[in-house]
């Protein structure tokens, strides 16, 4: 079983690349952002609880996020998948610790954290552009976009040290064509056993 974390700020291309990696390496793609947006669309109890956080560009509390992730992973595992690609999770140190425990329970481990590196100016441009077509309210508002980047640097970026200490953190240039970036990611994936 491969367990891959796709890491990087909002707008770094995690969603796009996760879909390509999922197809190519036959992985289960778990995006906590997609799960939350789906819950909101379906007006579930969880959706009602998390909407305020997504609208404001704030992180959903760890306890709820970890529970939602565990339920999703357990209910979507199948014999055909070769592993999991985590996109947008973990975003805090407690989430990373919970993920380590969750995966260890399955006698497995995180193989690698692939971090897409993109400068802020490019990120804001991409997010605002995406907001014009995606219908995502958190991409359409300049203030919320900037707040999400601030949340990333304050709460999520410190995770780099967590995974550097485990020698699992690999930086990938996240600027270029989708194919170029995908090729770099594949090179790293192909180094795994
Ligand atoms: P994303 O699609 O990954 O950009 O996530 C969109 C929004 O969903 C974030 O701004 C948060 O409000 C929420 N979210 C997604 N993943 C997480 C997570 N791992 N922890 C907390 N909140 C999250």
Which domains does the chain show, CATH number per domain? 2-186 (3.40.50.300)
Give the distance between the most distant pair of CA atoms in the chain.
Answer: 44
Calculate how far, in angstroms, residue 65's C-alpha sits from the geometric centre of ligand 1: 9
Mean local confidence (pLDDT), 21-44: 97
Helices (H), the chain: 14-25, 32-41, 45-56, 62-76, 93-105, 120-134, 137-140, 142-151, 159-165, 178-190
Mean local confidence (pLDDT), 66-82: 94
CA neighbor of 152 nearest in space, from 21, 14, 39: 14
pLDDT interval class at 193 (50, 70, 90): confident
* pTM for the whole structure: 0.96
Mean local confidence (pLDDT), 9-20: 97
Mean pLDDT across the chain? 96
The residue whose CA is least distant from atom 10 of ligand 1 is: 57
State residue 184 phi and psi, 5-degree precision.
-65, -40
Calculate how far, in angstroms, residue 33's C-alpha sits from the geometric centre of ligand 1: 5
């Amino acid at each position: 079983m491969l367990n891959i974390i796709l890491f990087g700020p909002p707008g770094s291309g995690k969603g796009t690349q996760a879909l390509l990696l999922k197809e190519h390496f036959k992985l289960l793609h778990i995006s906590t952002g997609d799960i939350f947006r789906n819950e909101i669309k379906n007006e579930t109890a969880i959706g009602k609880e998390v909407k305020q956080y997504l609208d404001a560009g704030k992180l959903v509390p760890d306890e709820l996020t970890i529970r939602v992730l565990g339920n999703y992973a357990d209910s979507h595992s199948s014999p055909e998948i070769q592993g999991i690609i985590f996109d947008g999770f973990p975003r805090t140190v407690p989430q990373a610790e919970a993920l380590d425990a969750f995966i260890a329970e399955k006698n497995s481990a995180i193989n690698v954290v692939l971090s897409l590196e993109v400068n802020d100016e490019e990120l804001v441009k991409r997010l605002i552009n995406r907001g014009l077509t995606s219908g995502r309210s958190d991409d359409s508002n300049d203030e919320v976009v900037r707040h999400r980047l601030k949340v990333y640097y304050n709460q999520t970026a410190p995770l780099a040290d967590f995974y550097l200490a485990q020698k699992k953190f690999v930086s990938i240039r996240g600027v270029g064509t989708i194919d170029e970036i995908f090729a770099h990611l594949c090179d790293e994936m192909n180094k795994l056993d």
